[in-house]
Structure 1
Amino acid sequence: MKLVELIKYLTRTEKLDELYQEQGLNVESEALLIYLQGDLNLESEVSIFEIEETEDDLIFEKEGMQYVQLFPLDYAIELIESDLDLKNKGYSDLEIAQRLLEYRQKDV
């Protein structure tokens, strides 16, 4: 899944349970973190890991593959809804994904 595809879950939080089931995620985790495979760009594959597995590392390696943390899932939702005020404003999923990436890249 690419970041653009993930946006539909982040903007329609009622769909999150569906995402958790699809990804086999433990909703009892202290935090779920969004990682992009390789580097921070729209073409990178998205993976979601439990914080207990990644120890909240910005760069995380698993099975020889490197992942870069975008945001904790809850924080990404908060950014869309509040801080960046992108929800229900007519932005496309692609535009929202681009704004999240820009925000993260400037946050380095």
Structure 2
Amino acid sequence: MKIEGFIKYLNDPKQLNRLYQEQGLNTESEALLIYMREALSLESEIAIFEIEETEDDLFFEKGGMNYIQFFPIDYAVELIESDLNLKGKGFSDQEIAERLLEYRIKDA
């Protein structure tokens, strides 16, 4: 899944919890992190890892694949809802994904 497809989960806690269950993620983890495979790009596939697995490293390798940390999930939700004020404003998932990526590259 690409970040644009993940926005619906970030905007809906129920869908996000279902995704956690489907992927077998430990919701008791200190943090769940969004990583992008190979590059910070709208075209990159994303993966979610528990912080205990990645040790919060900016760059992480698993199964011969390289990942770059995008954001902790909780922080991405906070950015959408308050810091960037994108939720409920009529922005498309594509526009939200683009703004998050721009924020990550320029500001974070």
Which consecutive aligned stretches of 4+ in structure 1 deviate over 4 angstroms post-superposition? none
The amino acid across from 1:80 in the alignment is I
Identity of aligned residues (%): 69
The amino acid across from 1:36 in the alignment is M
TM-score, normalising length: structure 1: 0.96
Secondary structure of 2:25's counterpart equals: coil
The amino acid across from 2:100 in the alignment is L
Number of equivalenced pairs? 108
Using the TM superposition, give the Cα deviation of residue 107 of structure 1 relative to its aligned residue in structure 2, in angstroms: 2.9
The answer to whether 1:53 aligns with 2:53 is yes
Secondary structure of 1:68's counterpart equals: strand
TM-score, normalising length: structure 2: 0.96
The amino acid across from 1:22 in the alignment is E
The amino acid across from 2:34 in the alignment is I
Tell me how far apart the structure 2 counterparts of residues 48 and 67 of structure 1 sit (CA, whole Å). Answer: 10
Alignment of 1:1-108 (within 5 A): 1-107=1-107
- Unpaired segments of 5 or more residues in structure 2? none
- Unpaired segments of 5 or more residues in structure 1? none
Secondary structure of 2:35's counterpart equals: strand
Using the TM superposition, give the Cα deviation of residue 12 of structure 1 relative to its aligned residue in structure 2, in angstroms: 1.4
